[in-house]
């Protein structure tokens, strides 16, 4: 089978499409013939080893000292079940599915294996009416946004600010916050304002023209999905018992948040979601029903994986970048 291999840290050109051995599912695993996968910020950061200085050593130990320990990147995917292990009972050959591999990676390939009950990943049946490209664009951004908004116990009528509203996480956060009845203020660049407004944002802030942390406005919930605002600034934008949700917290940011939680009545939430079938199904059904949109900026064939990485690295993308194997005639 074909797979995109990252054998060393570096620019997009280090990615190569090679023939590798096709995986064989274990007893509790499903083998998926991949139809589409995404290129996320996490993928390019691993490929280029772009991490905060305080993360350098633990990241090298986790990802690989000299080269990526897991050379096949990719977290989100959609496709069809090609084979099942003897102990699998939830899926059958031919079932359309989508899911999230998380830090396991491995979606940049024509085939992958995933446990139907693996706690660190999620697999769900793809709802009717969703294309494979739409389904692949849901898991990471949708699950992350859902995790944080639930952690904030978001309520109807609350004021929510989302910084980085045009990215994979941000586009879902805007829509889910509106779904839960919140009043949403979205922060992004000038050229992306129209997109986030179309997703339902009530108020828009162009970060090139104003700093939300200095406006004097306060919110019940602030979701930092871009990593560009300081913790101090976010706290200034919270009500006295508000909640700060930080999707890209470095160790220094995490320490600051822990101190803030100890010295105030505000709630601090970092970390990230554990994928599960129920949440994936919930998100997929929202998109299939037209209650939420899977924002896809561009779709590339696998042969243009290098170009896709270059584009993601510019920071210009809106929502998600999807690789379609159907565009290669491979799916």
Residues of the chain with pLDDT under 70: 118-121, 327-331
Residue-level pLDDT at 121 = 61
State pTM to two decimals: 0.94
SS (H, E, C) the chain: CEEEEECCCCCHHHEEEEECCCCCCCCCEEEEEEEEEECCHHHHHHHHCCCCHHHHHHHHHHHCCCCCCCCCCCCEEEEEEEEECCCCCCCCCCCEEEEECHHHCCCCECEEEEECCCCCCEEEECCCCCCHHHHHCCHHHHHHHHHHHHHCCCCCCCEEEEECCCCHHHHHHHHHHHHCCCEEEEEECHHHHHHHHHCCCCEEEECCCCCHHHCCCCEEEEEECCCCCCHHHHHHCEEEEEEEEECCCCHHHHHHHHHHHHHCCCEEECCCCCCCHHHHHHHHHHHHCCCCCCCEEEEEEHHHHHHHHHHHHHCCCCCEEEEEHHHHCCC
Read off the pLDDT of residues 91-121 as tens digits, 9 standing for 90 and up: 999 999 999 998 889 999 999 999 987 565 6
Q: What domains, with CATH codes, occur in the chain? A: 2-138+294-328 (3.90.180.10), 140-269 (3.40.50.720)
Residue-level pLDDT at 272 = 84
């Amino acid at each position: 089978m074909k797979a995109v291999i990252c054998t060393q840290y570096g620019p997009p050109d280090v990615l190569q499409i090679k023939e590798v051995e096709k995986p064989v599912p274990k007893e509790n695993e499903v083998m998926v013939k991949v139809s589409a996968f995404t290129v996320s910020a996490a993928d390019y950061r691993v490929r280029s080893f772009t991490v905060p200085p305080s993360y350098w050593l633990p990241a090298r130990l986790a990802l690989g000292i000299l080269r990526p320990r897991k050379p096949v990147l990719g977290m989100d995917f959609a496709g069809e079940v090609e084979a099942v292990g003897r102990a699998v009972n939830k899926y059958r050959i031919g079932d359309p599915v989508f899911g999230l591999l998380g830090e396991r990676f491995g979606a940049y390939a024509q085939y992958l294996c995933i446990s139907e009950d693996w706690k660190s990943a999620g697999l769900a049946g793809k709802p009717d009416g969703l294309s494979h490209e739409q389904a692949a664009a849901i898991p990471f951004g949708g699950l992350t946004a859902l995790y944080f908004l639930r952690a904030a116990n978001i309520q109807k009528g609350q004021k929510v600010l989302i910084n980085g509203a045009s990215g994979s996480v941000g586009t879902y956060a805007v829509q889910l916050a509106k779904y839960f009845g919140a009043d949403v203020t979205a922060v992004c660049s000038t050229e992306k304002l129209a997109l986030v407004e179309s997703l339902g944002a009530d108020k828009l802030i162009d970060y090139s023209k104003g700093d939300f942390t200095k406006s004097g406005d306060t919110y019940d919930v602030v979701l930092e999905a871009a990593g560009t605002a300081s913790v101090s600034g976010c706290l200034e934008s919270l009500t006295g018992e508000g909640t700060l949700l930080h999707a890209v917290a470095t160790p220094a940011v995490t320490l600051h948040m822990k101190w803030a939680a100890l010295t105030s009545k505000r709630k601090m939430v970092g970390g990230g979601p554990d994928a599960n079938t129920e949440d994936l199904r919930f998100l997929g059904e929202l998109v299939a029903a037209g209650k939420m949109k899977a924002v896809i900026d561009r779709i590339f064939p696998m042969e243009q994986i290098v170009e896709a990485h270059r584009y993601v690295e510019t920071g210009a993308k809106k929502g998600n970048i999807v690789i379609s194997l159907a565009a290669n005639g491979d799916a």
